[in-house]
């Protein structure tokens, strides 16, 4: 990390540790940034950009694979989330944004409040993921949230420093989220039919 600064990539995405994120790099400043990341095997930071600017907490990424390099310098890459960080200071001296950051992990788990086994099984069942309910993965919550598209929820999870807290948050959120997704899909299906569940006739 040159000058102790992490290159930052503001996106309308919340990257979670362990998750894969394919990216198409087409802007000159990000072609320059990713070129350096590839050359020097560096991390870069993915931060959520919204109408107010960028948020304070992000996730670093490494490039898993260079998928395609175009003649004009554009790139298709596959990245993976690594470490969470908080931005302490932004630096705009380069064509792309960089930040002085502080990496963080979970606080020490509170042994007096172990994660309820039934809660864990219910969350995994709701998630419809083929996971072993007894799996002792400190990043299980991030794996369970990979397919959740709600950016606010993903950002909340990213900032939490307790796996048990994240799992309880998922348990509260997931049933309603999956129900909303089913309702949206049902609405789309009906909109593409004659209102009785049959395709529209020409």
Same domain for 70 and 36?
Answer: yes
Cα–Cα distance between 9 and 6 in angstroms, integer?
A: 10
Whether the pLDDT of residue 5 is over 90: the answer is: yes
Same domain for 74 and 151?
Answer: no
For residues 79 and 61, the answer to whether their CB atoms sit within 8 Å is yes
Same domain for 20 and 58?
Answer: yes
Mean per-residue pLDDT of the chain: 85
**Residue range 21-50: mean pLDDT, rounded:** 96
For the stretch 17-37, what's the b/e string if a residue is b when 16 or more beta carbons lie within 10 angstroms of its beta carbon?
bebebebebeeeebbbbbeeb
- The kind and range of the H/E element at 141 are helix 140-144
Whether the pLDDT of residue 19 is over 60: the answer is: yes
pLDDT, residue 187, reads: 74
Same domain for 91 and 125?
Answer: no
Cα–Cα distance between 37 and 139 in angstroms, integer?
A: 25
Percentage of the chain with pLDDT > 90?
56
Same domain for 98 and 125?
Answer: no
Asked whether residue 199 is domain-assigned, the answer is no
Q: Domain span at residue 159?
A: 117-187
Q: What is the pLDDT of residues 109-138, one digit of tens each?
A: 655 555 666 666 666 666 666 666 555 677
pTM: predicted TM-score of the whole model, two decimal places = 0.81
Whether the pLDDT of residue 1 is over 80: the answer is: no
- pLDDT tier for residue 24 given thresholds of 50, 70 and 90: very high
Same domain for 9 and 92?
Answer: yes
What CATH number should be reported for the domain holding residue 21? 2.30.130.40
- pLDDT tier for residue 182 given thresholds of 50, 70 and 90: confident
**Residue range 153-165: mean pLDDT, rounded:** 94
Whether the pLDDT of residue 194 is over 60: the answer is: no
Q: Name the domain boundary from 58, 76, 104.
A: 104
Asked whether residue 68 is domain-assigned, the answer is yes
Q: How many domains does the chain have?
A: 2
**Residue range 91-102: mean pLDDT, rounded:** 96
pLDDT, residue 196, reads: 52
Q: Greater confidence, 202 or 29?
A: 29
Same domain for 95 and 167?
Answer: no
Same domain for 80 and 126?
Answer: no
Q: Name the domain boundary from 54, 78, 104.
A: 104
Helix, strand, coil tally for the chain in percent (to 5): 35, 30, 35
Same domain for 28 and 78?
Answer: yes
């Amino acid at each position: 990390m040159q000058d102790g600064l992490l290159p930052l990539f503001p996106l309308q995405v919340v990257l979670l540790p362990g998750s894969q994120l394919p990216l198409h790099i087409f802007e000159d400043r990000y072609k320059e940034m990713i070129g350096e990341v590839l050359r020097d095997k560096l991390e870069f930071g993915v931060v959520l950009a919204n109408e107010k600017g960028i948020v304070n907490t992000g996730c670093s990424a490494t490039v898993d694979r260079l998928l395609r390099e175009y003649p004009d310098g554009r790139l298709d890459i596959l990245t993976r989330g690594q470490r969470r960080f908080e931005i302490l200071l932004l630096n705009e001296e380069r064509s792309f944004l960089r930040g002085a950051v502080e990496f963080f992990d979970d606080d020490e788990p509170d042994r007096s409040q172990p994660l309820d086994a039934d809660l864990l099984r219910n969350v995994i069942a709701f998630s419809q993921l083929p996971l072993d309910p007894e799996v002792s993965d400190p990043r299980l919550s991030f794996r369970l949230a990979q397919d959740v598209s709600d950016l606010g929820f993903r950002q909340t999870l990213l900032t939490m420093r307790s796996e048990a807290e994240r799992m309880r948050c998922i348990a509260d959120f997931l049933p309603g989220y999956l129900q909303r997704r089913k309702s949206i899909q049902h609405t789309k299906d009906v909109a593409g039919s004659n209102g009785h569940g049959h395709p529209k006739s020409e």
